[in-house]
Homo-oligomer: A and B are copies of this chain.
Amino acid sequence: MAIQAHESTERRQPDDPRERILSAAGCEFAERGYDAATIRDICAAAAVNIAAVNYYFGDKRRLYIESVKHAHESRVRQVPLPEWDSSVPAERRLHDFVDNMLERMLGLGQPPWQVRLMMREVLQPTEACRELVEDYIRPHFAVLVAILDDLAGGRLTQPELRRVALSIIGQCFLYRAAGDVVGMLVPADEIERLHTPPRLAEHVTRYALAALGRAAPLTGGGAGVSSQDVVA
């Protein structure tokens, strides 16, 4: 099982100016969005002259598109799709998948800029989005759908599986996209104790397994919501 090998540091400064600009731009766009990120800031961070953007990329828009492309391509390269030994039960696979997704979205302080930039693009799609979907998102989606198909024992149609998959993704996505609001809604001590990737993964997985009849309902008929049994 290959999961989340090693996250590269936020932004190593490449030698090549073009790469340096891409990296700096990725960070700025991830942090501030397209409109608020400025060429001057990007060039300062990349230690290049402002004309370099025109020279290497043509214009700001092109630079943005290339940054998004660079982000998902490097993610695909560095972080392969999760794979499991054939003996690993589907329950476990689902848990791992969800855990991995939550770690990526919420993990350790702050996700790398590539992930943050992709999230922005998902929320406000540009022409860069289609390729991001095909190159990065769809393969992950297919893995999740396959796991759910196993869990459902072939009893759900593809459309049904896709909707269940989207339900799972939606649950994880909320904490990332609206995390500040969640933080205002829920008591702080509860955020600290229960809103960590592992704990949320537990909940999201258990919710799914219960809904699919692969675990007892959340309300009982077993050890309760916090039980580790289903994934042990």
Residues of A within 8 A of B (CB): 33, 35-36, 122-123, 125, 129-130, 133, 137-138, 141, 152-153, 155-156, 159-160, 162-164, 166-167, 169-175, 177-178, 180-182, 184-186, 190, 194, 200, 203-204, 207-208, 210-214, 216-221, 225
Q: How far is the CA of A163 from the CA of B46 in the complex (A)?
A: 42
Instruction: Please give, as numbers and ranges, the residues of chain B lying within 8 Å of A207 by CB-CB distance.
Output: 164, 167, 211
The residue in chain B whose Cβ has the minimal distance to the Cβ of A225 is B160
Checking B153, B210, B213 against A221 with a beta-carbon cut-off of 8 angstroms, the contacting residue is B213
Q: How far is the CA of A208 from the CA of B181 in the complex (A)?
A: 22
Instruction: Please give, as numbers and ranges, the residues of chain B lying within 8 Å of A180 by CB-CB distance.
Output: 125, 129
Checking B122, B190, B219, B220 against A162 with a beta-carbon cut-off of 8 angstroms, the contacting residue is B190
Q: How far is the CA of A231 from the CA of B97 in the complex (A)?
A: 32
Min CB distance A193 to B, Å, is 8
Jot down 15 A-B pairs with beta carbons below 8 A, ordered by A: A123-B177, A125-B180, A125-B181, A152-B219, A155-B220, A156-B218, A159-B194, A162-B185, A162-B190, A167-B203, A173-B173, A173-B178, A210-B217, A212-B217, A213-B217
Min CB distance A101 to B, Å, is 12
Min CB distance A162 to B, Å, is 6
Q: Which 6 pairs between the two chains have the least Cβ-Cβ distance?
A: A213-B217, A170-B174, A35-B35, A170-B171, A210-B211, A211-B211
From known contacts A170-B174, A178-B173, A220-B155, infer whether A163 and B203 are also in contact, taking CB-CB under 8 Å: yes
The residue in chain B whose Cβ has the minimal distance to the Cβ of A162 is B186
Q: How far is the CA of A220 from the CA of B214 in the complex (A)?
A: 11
Q: How far is the CA of A221 from the CA of B217 in the complex (A)?
A: 14
Min CB distance A196 to B, Å, is 12
Asked if residues A129 and B210 are in contact (CB atoms below 8 Å), the reply is no
The residue in chain B whose Cβ has the minimal distance to the Cβ of A168 is B171
Min CB distance A194 to B, Å, is 6
